[in-house]
Amino acid sequence: MKNATKLLVTSAIASAFLGAGAAHTSSTQPATTEAGSFWDETVESVARSPWIYEGTNVFGELARVPASDWVRTLEKAPYPTQLEDFSFPAGNSEDQDISNWLHQTHTDSFLIYHDGKLVVEKYFNGMRADTPHRIHSITKTVLGMAAGLAVEAGKLDPKKLITEYLPELEGPAFKNTTVRHLLDMTAAVDWKDASSGYLDDAGGLFCAFGQDLSEKIDNCDTASGVKEYMISLSDREAVVEDGEVYSYRSVLSSLLGIVIESATGESYLDVLAELWQDIGAQDPAYSELGPKRIVQTSGGMFTSSRDLLRFGIMMLDNGKVKDTQVIPSNWIADTVQANDDVIAAYEKSAYAEVFEGFHYRNQVWVKDRVKGAFYGIGVYGQLLYVNQDANVVMVKLSSQPEVQNTPMYLDSMAAMKKIAEALNK
């Protein structure tokens, strides 16, 4: 390690971006197309994505988030000529075209929005335009923007200690932790997301959300609930100072959702419903609930690809939808620009060795501060990409067989960046 303060080893990245949802291994069959144009809107295949919402859930209860009473129109345009002969250098040093890349990374849906038009829309594996798909940890990015709503309303203060909202958390672990530390994942609490397999500390969080893992871990408490689980962490000793080092931990996103509920005095589902209303969502979304109806804010959201695109367009336009400022523009700007402390905290983490040049702010992975390029990222290959300079939004939902396949993520990030550059010429 280059820096003694790094909390994670690079091998831990193999299970990063944990959605704190159900452990699952999807089909190893890559997405395939039937005869016909590759860019037809819907092409079914024999395989069916395990992350399609089918009215039941892996565990727990699902709450319905209603569609908006108005729908943001997505005007279509022909497939861009800039992409007809497009290829990019993949990690194996071979050039890949878009079709091969999508197939090899187990894509369920792929959408591109450019200069105000929907220019690419493609579905595989039982997906349709209105199919809710689990977005795993892109749920966190939605959470980060919902926090901006609460801040703008004057109900949530990023500078305040979280114990001002949840006095039950008094103890060594959270005594100096602010809302900002949760938003940026720089809180000091000693909690391992997935550094040794898929469970580790995360197994306790899964249990708190109601998933029975008693055969895999000891003391799997599925009854007490998430808030009691958070209280149980408050006696842990911190190993670093709050704000010192970035360390990706789904427990912080889960805790942030509870803090938002305490600060606003309303269910996070109501905050989410307001956001989905304002973006002009066409389809209902769904959110996983744990015992006592605690919302799973770290990875439990299901939404259609088009509505996730609408959410990304709102971020592309600095929080504005038509004439309505949905998320404060300064919240988006702060997400993209961050500050030197945030960038330094990320550079001290092992994530900087794999995902170079990023920072993490307001639950968003930011790649380029100048071009306004950033991601929402979830396990099994979920990606939301926004590039403000190129006026591009992309959605790629997937069913990759591994929880986290770093080469596939790196290839997808390279492809999206190159596509944005090609469209911006």
CATH architecture of 10-72+117-371: 3-Layer(aba) Sandwich (3.40)
Contact 112, 387 (CB under 8 A): no
pLDDT digits (tens, 9 = 90+) for 200-243: 788 899 899 988 888 888 889 998 999 999 999 999 988 899 99
Instruction: Round to whole Å and give the CA distance between 329 and 35.
Output: 45
Q: Quick one: DSSP state of residue 256? A: H
| Mean per-residue pLDDT, 174-179 | 97
Question: How high is the pLDDT of residue 177?
Answer: 98
Among 234, 233, 206, residue whose Cα is nearest residue 222: 206
Which is more confidently placed, 248 or 47?
A: 248
Q: Residue 13 pLDDT more than 70?
A: no
Confidence band, pLDDT 50/70/90 cuts, at residue 286: very high
List the structure tokens of 24.
């699952």
Name the percent of the chain lying above pLDDT 70: 86
Three-class DSSP labels, 149-209: HHHHCCCCCCCCEHHHCCHHHCCCCCCCCEHHHHHHCCCCCCCCCCCCCCCCHHHHHHHHC
Distance CA 191, CA 173 (A): 10
Q: What is this structure's pTM?
A: 0.90
pLDDT tens digits, one per residue of 109-150: 999 999 999 999 999 988 999 999 999 999 999 999 999 999
What's the confidence (pLDDT) of residue 213? 86
> Can you read off the two tokens belonging to residue 183?
């938003």
Q: How far apart are CA 367 and CA 359, in angstroms?
A: 7
Domain boundaries of the chain, sorted by first residue: 10-72+117-371
More confident residue, 293 or 118: 118
Tell which residue, 27, 372, 315, has the closest CA to residue 146: 315
Tell me which residue of 150, 91, 194 sits closest to 403, measured CA to CA.
194
- Cβ 17 vs Cβ 136: under 8 Å: yes
Could you give the C-alpha distances from 337 to 24, 62, 160, 421, in angstroms and in order? 35, 35, 21, 21
Contacts of 164 (CB under 8 A, 6+ apart): none
Determine the pLDDT at residue 197: 52
Q: What is the pLDDT of residue 128?
A: 92
Phi-psi map region of 13: left, alpha, beta (phi>0 left; psi -120 to 50 alpha): alpha
Per-residue confidence (pLDDT) for residue 238, from 0 to 100: 87
pLDDT in tens, 410-421: 999 999 999 999
Q: Given CA atoms 402, 406, 407, 411 in this order, what sign does their dihedral have?
A: positive
- Matching residue, tokens 């108005």: 70
pLDDT in tens, 57-100: 455 688 999 999 999 999 999 999 999 899 999 887 789 999 99
User: What are the C-alpha distances in Å from 50 to residues 15, 19, 57, 126, 135?
Assistant: 19, 15, 11, 10, 12
Distance CA 109, CA 88 (A): 20
Given a cut of 70, whether residue 340 has pLDDT beyond it is yes
Identify the band that residue 403 occupies on the pLDDT scale cut at 50, 70 and 90.
confident
Q: 166: which strand partners?
A: none
The H or E element that residue 260 is part of is: helix 250-264
Predicted confidence at residue 198, as pLDDT, reads 56
Q: How many CA atoms lie within 13 A of 415 on its CB side?
A: 29
Q: What is the mean pLDDT of residues 151-165?
A: 98
